[in-house]
């Protein structure tokens, strides 16, 4: 009988995927290393071969969820359509992602709060939000390259505004689950952003 050895990298990826599923479904507090290993279909003892501790795993989780958002924005936006279209297409695609998985959004807020409250891991919350802003800024810059005139607002400031606005909408949606109201407000954010860059709303 031949046993298939799983590489440390593959095992890490399995644990990250399992951690995201457990935390999105059951919350950060219930996502013990034993529960995560069970979700991954791996012996509990192998966790410490893949990660030094749970906090190292959480760092990888933050990286994975922010990469997912980067991919969503990249795939949704055609830069050749210009800056205003990039804003609208990117935000609408992101919103579909939001309403598609409540638990995933709550998990990201839990991670941020945990990081801010855990000594030595404050940087993780800062990195999490820096990644969100960087993803938005990349989309904006690519769209702006196809404009005849430069935008009226600094794109880094616009990226921060869009992240802040959508962050507030996500919290509102998670509290109210009023999808229609939140979509209306999302469209208002899109129109406001178009005005900020000097495009027709």
Q: Please report the pLDDT score of residue 177 as a whole number.
A: 94
Confidence at residue 27, expressed as pLDDT on a 0 to 100 scale: 92
Q: Which two tokens stand for residue 147?
A: 């404009």
Token pair listed for 4: 């298939």
Q: What is the pLDDT of residues 59-81, one digit of tens each?
A: 999 999 999 999 999 999 999 99
Q: Tell me the domains of the chain and their CATH numbers.
A: 1-51 (1.10.10.60), 54-197 (1.10.357)
Give the pLDDT confidence of 99-113 residue by residue, as tens digits: 999 899 999 999 999
What is the model's pTM? Answer: 0.88
DSSP state of 51: -
- Looking at every residue in the chain, the average pLDDT score rounds to 92
Low-confidence ranges of the chain (pLDDT < 70): 1-5, 200-201
Contacts 24+ apart (CB under 8 A), 147-151: 147/82, 147/83, 149/198, 151/83, 151/196, 151/197, 151/198
Locate all alpha helices (DSSP H) within 51-197, ordered by sequence: 54-76, 83-100, 102-117, 122-144, 155-176, 179-197
């Amino acid at each position: 009988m031949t046993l298939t050895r799983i590489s440390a990298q593959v095992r890490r990826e399995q644990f990250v995927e399992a951690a995201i599923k457990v935390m999105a479904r059951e919350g950060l507090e219930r996502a013990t290393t034993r529960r995560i290993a069970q979700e991954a279909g791996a012996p509990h003892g192998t966790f410490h071969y893949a990660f030094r501790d749970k906090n190292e795993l959480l760092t990888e989780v933050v990286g994975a969820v922010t990469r997912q958002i980067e991919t969503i924005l990249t795939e949704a936006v055609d830069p050749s359509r210009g800056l205003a279209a990039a804003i609208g297409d990117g935000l609408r695609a992101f919103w579909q992602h939001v309403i598609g998985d409540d638990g995933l959004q709550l998990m990201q807020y839990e991670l941020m709060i945990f990081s801010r409250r855990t000594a030595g891991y404050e940087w993780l919350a800062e990195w999490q939000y820096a990644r969100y802003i960087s993803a938005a800024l990349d989309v904006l810059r690519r769209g702006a390259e196809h404009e005849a005139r430069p935008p009226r607002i600094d794109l880094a400031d616009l990226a921060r505004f869009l992240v802040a606005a959508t962050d507030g909408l996500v919290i509102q949606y998670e509290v109210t689950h009023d999808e229609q109201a939140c979509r209306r407000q999302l469209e208002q954010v899109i129109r406001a952003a178009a005005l900020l860059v000097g495009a027709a709303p």
